[in-house]
Chain A
């Protein structure tokens, strides 16, 4: 018979070993990522930077869509805010890039907090449509205001080194994944898990829902804004249809759901797999590339209408859950 103390310290040692193993893996991954541009050509560095970018978006969306259960389709609005803020501060006021980027992130988060007070009172489809509406409004604003350069867009100063953007995107991704990892174990994470499971029960247990939903929404906006800022400097030119583009939102959603919203690395895996497939398809056939995401959304709707999260978490296993979904919707 193992005494409880022995068993506990054994479990602790095992946990620590697993923790060391994970830390070692993470360190190795970061090292590999850090030296990658030194060994690979510019084309591949660009592709991987794009993968990092969608990794951030998928991870960020996970906070509001996955953990909180609010399907946000207007994330690109915050990407646009980040892009234009960085563009204006960097290009017109000659701020250093880091400062302009941070300002973009904070402004995006602040706008999200403000809009969240209104939007987060809606649920499900109504919330989704309202975020879409918000995105479209911002796109129009950007196209009609002088400060944003209107419909002709905005030019940013050309950066000296290109690989800088690879490292910027990698840095943002590392922060996004770290936040996604720490979040569910935090007090706010518990609050949102409770709210997602049963909001009424959560309320009588002392949880006031709106502030926590706003926190998730604003954090998601922060990272979309960060991507926007790096994207703007990277591509040197932005205009309303390019940055206030629903494609960013949709791809973030699909990648997150595909990779699995239950974990912090799931969305990143989704981004890696889908973006790689997407790139390969672009080289094979433009037609296939264009239908790729549309087809994927159709498949997800048919096989996982309540989202892959429910399937992944289903106690009876993935296949049984898919069969149950199909039966229920009489396909």
Chain B
């Protein structure tokens, strides 16, 4: 709650290891707030966040990151004056017990950059990247934490259809390597194509949950997005 505004209202959300769960809902539904609560940027007013048997609420964001929960930001947050390579080396250096030495971290960053397709641009200053590349960089930085769960905050926004396909391919590959994903998304094609299960938020409340095909047919969901008249037609 923010003062008298309830941003997220008793949302019960569970994600099993190995799942790709989608989180959708109209703007202002509370999706980003939920992500912020999970990653420790906002403390929950009530309720708890549990990750693999451990409570996350009350922990500092850096500690949560080190426990294996990584996130990308809706508006990319690169370290603008550092190179792409250095940007990815940073989380590698601070992921906790398995953190390497500086020289090894840089080499690890190179490998991760290859995975996301930024290899050739590793020496670019981060402020020189295009939007799709900035998204890749966000993802690369999240991966450098060696996370078990990645929270993706609207990674597909503003991408062309071809770029969306590439992104979906990349996420499928990463999922195949053992990553669990919570995908906050507006691009419905990505949600349908990637997610095993979808949760819908509206005005801070969970209004639907289930396989993507079923959820997108749900009248309550359609009403939330387009208005009640369209749903009752």
Residues of A within 8 A of B (CB): 185-187, 190-191, 193-194, 197-198, 200-208, 313, 315
Contacts and interface: CB of A to CB of B under 8 A. Distances in A.
Nearest to B39: A204
B55 interface: no
Given A204-B39, A205-B141, A206-B145, A198 B90 contact: no
The 5 closest A-B pairs by CB, nearest first: A206-B94, A201-B77, A205-B91, A197-B79, A208-B62
B160 to A, nearest CB: 26
Contacts of B86: 190, 193
B189 interface: no
B73 A206 contact: no
Contact of A193 (B66, B73, B82, B141): B82
Nearest to B76: A201
A203 B79 contact: no
B63 interface: yes
Given A198-B79, A200-B41, A190 B61 contact: no
A206 B96 contact: yes
A211 to B, nearest CB: 10
B150 to A, nearest CB: 12
B93 A190 contact: yes
Contacts of B173: none
Given A190-B102, A200-B41, A201-B73, A208 B63 contact: yes
Contacts of B66: 206
Contacts of A202: 79, 90
Interface residues of B, number: 32
Given A191-B94, A206-B91, A206-B145, A201 B79 contact: yes
A187 B102 contact: yes
Interface string B73-97: 1000111111000100111011110
A205 B60 contact: no
B102 A205 contact: no
Nearest to A208: B62
Given A185-B102, A187-B93, A190-B89, A204 B82 contact: no
A194 B77 contact: no
Given A201-B78, A206-B95, A208-B62, 18 more contacts: A186-B102, A187-B94, A190-B90, A190-B102, A194-B82, A198-B78, A198-B80, A200-B41, A200-B77, A201-B73, A201-B77, A203-B65, A204-B61, A204-B62, A204-B65, A204-B71, A206-B66, A208-B60
B44 interface: no
Contacts of A208: 60, 62-63
B92 to A, nearest CB: 9
21 contacts: A187-B94, A190-B90, A190-B102, A193-B82, A194-B82, A197-B79, A197-B80, A198-B78, A203-B61, A204-B39, A204-B64, A204-B65, A204-B70, A205-B91, A206-B95, A206-B96, A206-B145, A207-B90, A207-B94, A208-B60, A208-B63
A201 B71 CA distance: 10
Nearest to B87: A194
A162 B63 CA distance: 53
Contact of A205 (B41, B63, B81, B145): B145
B107 interface: no
Contacts of B102: 185-187, 190
Contacts of A190: 86, 89-90, 93, 102
Contacts of B94: 187, 191, 205-207
Nearest to B36: A204
A185 B106 CA distance: 11
Contact of A197 (B60, B65, B81): B81
Contacts of A206: 62, 65-66, 91, 94-96, 145
A194 B73 CA distance: 16
B127 interface: yes
A190 to B, nearest CB: 6
